[in-house]
Chain A
Amino acid sequence: NAGVTQTPKFQVLKTGQSMTLQCAQDMNHNSMYWYRQDPGMGLRLIYYSASEGTTDKGEVPNGYNVSRLNKREFSLRLESAAPSQTSVYFCASRGLAYNEQFFGPGTRLTVL
């Protein structure tokens, strides 16, 4: 049982390049989330998907798009990367009881 998996683990981009961060969960959860973690800021919600076929903006959606490909997979896309998007990105899925969330290992992204 892998839980929540993310790829890639590390990525370096140049300003203006695009990329997609992949996330998958094997726990049959309905809700999935993308966060970014920056020093001194805690975790901030970028986008979430309450169920397959729906997505909604979180606190910091600008510069990002998401796709809920199916129940298992939720991807995050940076269309034109900027240095301000240098961060650690975490994907999570929500359990069926008590709203607890399960996190992936993270993607460490640097934009030069």
Chain B
Amino acid sequence: GNSVTQMEGPVTLSEEAFLTINCTYTATGYPSLFWYVQYPGEGLQLLLKATKADDKGSNKGFEATYRKETTSFHLEKGSVQVSDSAVYFCALSVTKSGGSNYKLTFGKGTLLTVNP
């Protein structure tokens, strides 16, 4: 089956520090990979995505590269801000044969706190 494993938190950083949140996956077929962010009291928002090997997704200074050889999709940001404090979820989806029923499989989430 499909699964996503991401580093357990919480992660606490100082402002302007470098961020890495590790994510690895197992999947049947060729998945699309996503990072979602959840700010306190809100729903999940798509942060970035990559749909094939070696693609790099980027948004708001965050980046992640789809590495098929290591089955990884690590999230990075060069300089975090207090406003980046949130829970980050790695997720994948795989198209079933016949092209229907696209379901997301999520990791358990990583809480990031950035201190001024």
Contact = CB atoms under 8 A, between A and B. Distances in A.
Nearest to A44: B106
B44 interface: yes
Interface residues of A, number: 24
Q: Majority SS of interface residues in chain A? A: strand
Contacts of B113: none
A97 B101 CA distance: 13
Interface in B26-73: 32, 34, 36, 42-46, 49, 51
Contacts of B93: 99
A40 B101 contact: no
A102 B101 contact: no
A65 to B, nearest CB: 19
Contacts of B109: 42
Interface in A24-75: 31, 33, 40-43, 45, 48, 50, 56, 58
Interface in A92-112: 92, 94, 98-106
Contact of A50 (B34, B44, B46, B101): B101
A35 B108 CA distance: 13
Interface string B86-110: 0001000101000011111011110
Interface of B: 32, 34, 36, 42-46, 49, 51, 89, 93, 95, 100-104, 106-109
17 contacts: A31-B101, A33-B104, A42-B106, A42-B107, A42-B108, A43-B106, A50-B101, A56-B101, A90-B43, A90-B44, A92-B44, A99-B104, A100-B34, A101-B104, A103-B36, A103-B44, A104-B43
